[in-house]
Amino acid sequence: MNSSQVHRVIFDTDPGVDDAMALYFALAHPAIEVLGITTSFGNVTVAQAAQNALYLCALAGRRIPVTQGVDRPWLKPAEAPPAYIHGADGLGNLPDRMAVSEQLDLRPSAQFIVDMARANPGEITLVAVGPLGNLSLALLLEPALPSLLKQVILMGGTVLEPGNVSPVAEANIWNDPHAADRVFTAGWPLTMVGLDVTHRLVLPVTLFQKIADHHRHRATDALHHAVSFYADFYGARFAHVAAVRGCFGHDVLAFIYLVAPYLFETQSGQVRVVSDGLAQGQTILKRQPGIDYPHPGWDASRPASSVCMALDAPACSALFETTLMRSWLPA
């Protein structure tokens, strides 16, 4: 594969079990080069998220710059992380952790994003799969950021599918709705990979067992352990997920969209985020392009996003499996 076919990526994440899945997909895929990992509060505290990113990279034998980012929402009060979904450590309560010597890059995540974008104008894709405070802060540091990045692909939000933290809100957006609205209205090429598609991809624990058996490596063992914990949460809430003892693949679909966008159906339109009240965190897609609404929040000058509304789930699942079964781990 020549270098022009490789996607150069900054991964903004709050690992998190499905974040770990996404990271390992990215490290295993030959067309993705992870230039850096920026971290946020969300599934765990930001300090834990950063340590988890370092740890996951060390397990996989990869040295990638990791930075620590925002530790709370832009305006709304901070809340305790959901240990019942991802475990108190974010990785399904791993029974033991090997010591790792790698240290954080000491720049704040937003500064790292700005530095990398300025040094590589137009080249970097930002894949964001947590609350969006780092991107929002980076926009304040460098208002020209939308023209310095190639594109943003984010896991978050929902249009027609019910929310997962309220009837209308998805967790990443709900965690920092003010930051999210800033990101959706910034004017960069942006694709939203939300619950409309992520709730269509159920990955069974047996698949992670198969991957772990194939590699016999501590990285895939840790992923298998984490997914087993995560599957218990989803199994208790969705009968069809319990039936296969599986989980949703949420974050990995942002990377699958990056390398295989033809597996998705998208709709283009302005997206705004409800910042307060009962519908806090709702992502609203303007689905009728021909209508010129009088409400000032929807004037035609606001940029449009591309929103994933359907996907080929069997093909996404097959791509996930073939990618993780490649030889991507050191002996």
CB 223 within 8 A of CB 208: yes
Total residues belonging to the chain: 331
Q: Is 250 assigned a catalytic role?
A: yes
> Is residue 91 near ligand BDR by the rule CB under 6 A?
no
> Is residue 179 near ligand BDR by the rule CB under 6 A?
no
> Is residue 73 near ligand BDR by the rule CB under 6 A?
no
Distance in angstroms (rounded) separating the CA atoms of residues 187 and 162: 27
| Residue span 264-293 as binding mask against Ca ion, x where in contact by CB under 5 A, dash where not | ------------------------------
**Residue 191, SS3 per DSSP:** strand
> Is residue 21 near ligand BDR by the rule CB under 6 A?
no
> Is residue 196 near ligand BDR by the rule CB under 6 A?
no
Cα torsion at 256, 287, 175, 84 (round to 10°)? -60
Q: Taking the chain, what is the end-to-end CA distance rounded to the nearest angstrom?
A: 23
Residue 84 CB, nearest distance to ligand BDR (Å)? 11
Identified binder of ligand BDR from the candidate list 105, 142, 196, 251, rule CB under 6 A: 251
**Residue appearing with tokens 């692909």:** 153
264-269 β-sheet, strand order:
66-68, 32-39, 7-13, 124-128, 151-155, 190-193, 305-311, 264-269
- Partner whose binding site includes residue 109, from Ca ion, ligand BDR, none (CB under 5 to 8 Å by kind): none
Residue number of the CB closest to ligand BDR reads 171
Range in contact with Ca ion (rule: CB under 5 A) among 132-140, 158-166, 211-219, 251-259: 251-259
Range in contact with Ca ion (rule: CB under 5 A) among 116-124, 128-136, 191-199, 297-305: 128-136
DSSP code string of 237-299: H-HHHHTTTEEE-TTHHHHHHHH-GGGEEEEEE-EEE--SSTTTTBEEE---TT---SSGGG-
> Is residue 250 near ligand BDR by the rule CB under 6 A?
yes
Residue 14 CB, nearest distance to ligand BDR (Å)? 6
Taking CA atoms, 154 is separated from 175, 190, 308, in Å, by 14, 8, 10
- Partner whose binding site includes residue 142, from ligand BDR, Ca ion, none (CB under 5 to 8 Å by kind): none
Q: 21-34 b/e with 16+ CB inside 10 Å = b?
A: bbbbbbbbbeebeb
Tell me whether residue 148 or residue 241 sits nearer to ligand BDR (CB atom). 241
Main-chain phi, psi angles of 123, to 5 degrees: -105, -25
CB atoms within 10 A of CB 48: 22
> Is residue 172 near ligand BDR by the rule CB under 6 A?
yes
> Is residue 170 near ligand BDR by the rule CB under 6 A?
yes
> Is residue 127 near ligand BDR by the rule CB under 6 A?
no
Range in contact with ligand BDR (rule: CB under 6 A) among 49-57, 164-172, 257-265, 287-295: 164-172
Range in contact with Ca ion (rule: CB under 5 A) among 16-24, 117-125, 224-232, 306-314: 16-24
Strands 7-13, 305-311: pairing kind? unpaired
> Is residue 16 near ligand BDR by the rule CB under 6 A?
yes
- Partner whose binding site includes residue 89, from ligand BDR, Ca ion, none (CB under 5 to 8 Å by kind): none
Which one of 86, 217, 224, 250 is the catalytic residue? 250
What is the set of active-site residues? 14, 250
Interface ranges with ligand BDR (CB under 6 A): 16, 18-19, 43, 129-130, 155, 164, 170-172, 250-251
